[in-house]
Amino acid sequence: MSVQVQAPSSDPEIERSKLRAWLVSVMLVFLMLVNWADKAVLGLVAVPLMEDLGISNSEYGLLSSAIYFLFSASAVGAGFIANRRSVKWMLFIMVALWSLTQFSIWLAPTFGLILISRIVLGLAEGPSAGLGFHAASKWFRDHERNLPTAIQNVGSFSGIAIAAPALTWIITRYSWHWAFFAVAVVGLVWMVLWYFIGKDGPYDGSSKETGADVSVFEGGARVAYRHLLLSKTFVGTVCIGLAAYWALAIVSAWLPSYLRVANGYSASSAANIVMAISLTAIFFLLTEAFATQRLMNRGVSSRIARGWMAAGSVTIGGVCILITATMASGMAQNIMLCLGFGLGLVTFTTGAVLISEFVPVLQRGAVLGIYVAIITLSGIVSPTVFGAIIDLYGSDASGGYRAAFVVSGALILVCGIVGFCLINPPREAVRIAAMLATLQPGPLATP
């Protein structure tokens, strides 16, 4: 059941250009592609970078984690700013900073400068996912958001899939320094296109629309943030998001190194396996989006169609990662790696949509920013813990990698189970809608 409020008939309808809505969505896909290419480049250059700079696994883990030091704080801060400012120009400025940090590493690659550049990169990239989802939400209503949100995440994993072979080619043909130059230039190209295409959508709570499908959440009222952030659904969605981001941080920071050092693959073969994992994630993202849309069109509760779908994928992914730790290298293990690290990542689509289902539009940017800020904390912990576990095993790198996979798989599995127990967006929507109905005019309708 959904709770809605109908605006007075004297208010004008919101007009939306479907062409502009999808053009903006395509640009947001490419934004995520650039975003994850920027993140993945360090993992792809890990082996030659560690050799050239003479750094240990733990030190490399610190560099990998550095991008997340200010990631969460900037995601929260930008989320609140997005409630009142243009998302178009916030994204434009952020990408400009991304490119500057990558150019700095290309020009003067030292441990200290890379550390600082990755911290600044994280500061600028922290809000990108939340602002991207928020930007799409301004162009689409709740029942339309699964697909545009899903294809944004396709951009994320396409960034890894495309970056892996393309940047590996640059690294092997020239040097690892030029990989940073390449991603910086791609960022500049995106900025030029976004300047002409980018625009804020009409569903921002500033106007009212007529018709029975106008949700109470699209109005101008707000509720106390504690009612949103302490809800069981938000907590459960955060749990599966933390698990998915833990897995994603491993893919971008450690998996190429694991495949080369522990399994003996060449740089190009390792890049192809990382690309296969990304393509697997894209397949599940799109499959999940269409399946969820079809289930909800048939009247299936979003608790099942969205919540159980995401929590189940994370749970199965955790099991697959645990199994991976017991297998020898080869095709069977590669398939299990694709399943383990590809399945759980569907939560990046479902998580944002789950939250948008019960959060008022005027608070959505802040809440999505807080959501991204919390789940990306995994990015701080995961690479550092992974590297520390490997160093504990000394010369037995393979044993260290297996232990790190066991720890990661168990954590992801537990988070998936917690998500199953807590996520129930229709319950939250009814609760929050009842609060909103006392704050804004208009009769409640329950179709």
Residue 220 contacts by C-beta under 8 Å, 6 or more apart in sequence?
Answer: 205, 206, 362, 440
Q: Kindly state the average pLDDT of the residues 77-82.
A: 79
Q: What average pLDDT is seen over the chain?
A: 81
Structural domain boundaries, residue 352: 17-196+224-440
The residues near 180 (Cβ < 8 Å, ≥ 6 apart) are 41, 102, 103, 105, 106, 109
Q: What is the pLDDT, as a whole number, of residue 3?
A: 42
pLDDT computed for residue 274 by the predictor: 82
- In this structure, of 4-8, 269-273, 399-403, the range with the lowest mean pLDDT score is 4-8
Query: CA 72, 78, 81 angle in degrees (round to 5)?
Result: 150
Identify whether 21 is part of a domain: yes
> What integer pLDDT is reported at residue 184 of this predicted model?
92
Do the domain assignments include residue 383?
yes
Examine the pLDDT at 167 and tell me if it is beyond 80.
yes
Q: Which residue would you say has higher pLDDT here, 447 or 192?
A: 192
Of residues 87 and 194, which shows the higher confidence score?
Answer: 194
At 44-58, the pLDDT tens digits run 888 888 888 888 777
Q: What is the pLDDT of residue 150?
A: 72
CA–CA dist 194, 92 (Å, integer)? 7
In a domain, 217, yes or no: no
Most confidently modeled of 75-79, 168-172, 353-357, 402-406? 402-406
pLDDT tens by residue, 88-127: 889 999 999 999 999 988 887 788 888 999 999 988 887 8
Domain assignment present for residue 394? The answer is yes
Q: Is residue 2 part of a domain?
A: no
Q: Is residue 210 part of a domain?
A: no
pLDDT at residue 43 is higher than 60: yes
- What the block records as the tokens of 247 is 């897995």
Q: Stretch 187-199: mean pLDDT, rounded?
A: 91
Which residue is it, tokens 């954590």? 411
Say which CATH number the domain at 30 has: 1.20.1250.20
What are the DSSP calls for 97-113, one per residue? Answer: HHHHHHHHHHHS--HHH
Is pLDDT of 439 > 90?
no
Lowest mean pLDDT among 137-146, 280-289, 308-317, 414-423: 137-146
Task: For residues 238-265, give the mean pLDDT.
Answer: 87
Question: How many folded domains does the chain comprise?
Answer: 1
Does residue 357 lie within any of the structural domains?
A: yes
pTM of the model: 0.69
**Percentage of the chain modeled with pLDDT above 90:** 21
Residue type at position 427? R
Locate tokens 């504990």: which residue?
A: 392
According to DSSP, the residues that pair with 445 across neighbouring strands are: 4
In a domain, 379, yes or no: yes
